[in-house]
Amino acid sequence: MLGPNGAGKTTTVEILECLRQLTSGEVRVLGMDVNKEANKIKRRIGVLPQDFNAFDLLTVKENIEFFGGMYDRSLDPDELIDAVDLREKRDEYFKNLSGGLKQRVGVAISMVNDPDIVFLDEPTTGLDPKARRDVWGVIQSLREKGKTVILTTHYMEEAEVLSDRVGIIDHGRFIAFGTPREIVEKHGTGSRCIISNCDERCLTALRGQWPSAEKNNGEIVIRLESKNSLPEIIYTLDRSGGNYEQIQVTRPTLEDVFLSLTGKKLMSEEVEPTGKKRKKRKKGAK
Ligand SMILES: Nc1ncnc2c1ncn2[C@@H]1O[C@H](COP(=O)(O)OP(=O)(O)OP(=O)(O)O)[C@@H](O)[C@H]1O
Ligand SMILES: [Mg+2]
């Protein structure tokens, strides 16, 4: 589930996890009604909540054992520690782990009852790119084990890399659903050609042929309407006798789709009192 802050991701997964009452409609998980069979569902799902925290003064292994003790049946803690690649930190206090390692403990805990479905609510928010990729590796291994993973994120790249199917959510509603490729094909606006550092001659020639071409920071961006467009652009540039630095062709991304469907960016920006823009961060993000 891909969506910006406040889209309704946590609300939706908490209903699926039987942690929040639904106000209308019907929700079934693994064929069971969340209103009637919550306890049965809970035995078969695993949950990594947003802003997950474990016990600071228990070690990694002790935390996993503690949560395992809540179920009739639980997996071997050492196996789970291996699965999330935390062998070296097995006897470390939870409070001494970095953010990325803490999230990996959270994934191990979400697996402790060997669930059929694992819900991960923003497992990588606030992590640096390396820690984020390490958590991705752990999530991919869940998928390889045949688990269904329901992951919420506001990182477009994360959805593209990890998902078989993506649901884009905004204002509590799904606005697009399918594989990343299907979504882009259905809602995308076609590939774009970006020509950087155009001089005046190139610029005039391109503008003459493609009057709607956008100009951003010295780059010209032209939507490729047909297969012939790219050779035409190259021919036009060549004939102009001018200079440019490079030509790049990009496919539309989920971010572009989100922008075209909602008119806003996924990672919304907010302006601080100083007037400096910063990325909007979630509460609890480190
Ligand atoms: N379908 C819905 N209809 C009406 N209100 C909703 C719906 N889904 C969520 N909300 C409300 O929107 C607010 C934000 O929802 P929620 O915390 O689920 O968003 P989120 O996508 O998880 O955001 P974040 O990325 O910040 O974690 C909450 O007040 C919630 O009650
Ligand atoms: Mg949330």
Please report the domains of the chain, with CATH numbers, ordered by start residue: 9-185 (3.40.50.300), 189-252 (3.30.70.980)
Which ligand gives the minimal distance to the CA of 15? 1
**Single-letter residue type at 22:** L
Cβ–ligand 1 contact at 49 (below 6 Å) = no
Cα angle 41, 43, 46 (rounded to 5 degrees) comes to: 90
- Per-residue pLDDT of 49-99, as tens digits, reads 998 999 999 999 999 999 999 999 899 999 999 989 999 999 999 999 999
Cβ–ligand 1 contact at 172 (below 6 Å) = yes
pTM to 2 decimals?
0.81
Q: How confident is the model at residue 126 (pLDDT cuts 50, 70, 90)?
A: confident
Classified as helix, coil or strand, 135 is: helix
- The confidence score (pLDDT) of residue 285 equals 35
Q: How confident is the model at residue 273 (pLDDT cuts 50, 70, 90)?
A: very low
Distance from residue 255's CA to the centre of ligand 1 (Å): 20
Distance from residue 9's CA to the centre of ligand 2 (Å): 5
Burial 65-78 (b: 16+ CB within 10 A, else e): bebbeeeeebbebe
Which residue, judged by its Cα, is nearest atom 23 of ligand 1? 6
Q: How confident is the model at residue 276 (pLDDT cuts 50, 70, 90)?
A: very low
Which residue, judged by its Cα, is nearest atom 31 of ligand 1? 11
Which residue, judged by its Cα, is nearest atom 24 of ligand 1? 5
- Per-residue pLDDT of 221-260, as tens digits, reads 898 877 788 999 999 999 999 999 999 998 888 888 888 8
**Contact indicator for 135, 161 with CB cutoff of 8 Å:** no
For residue 268, pLDDT over 50 is answered with: no
**Contact indicator for 222, 229 with CB cutoff of 8 Å:** yes
SS3 content of the chain, % helix, strand, coil (to 5): 40, 20, 40
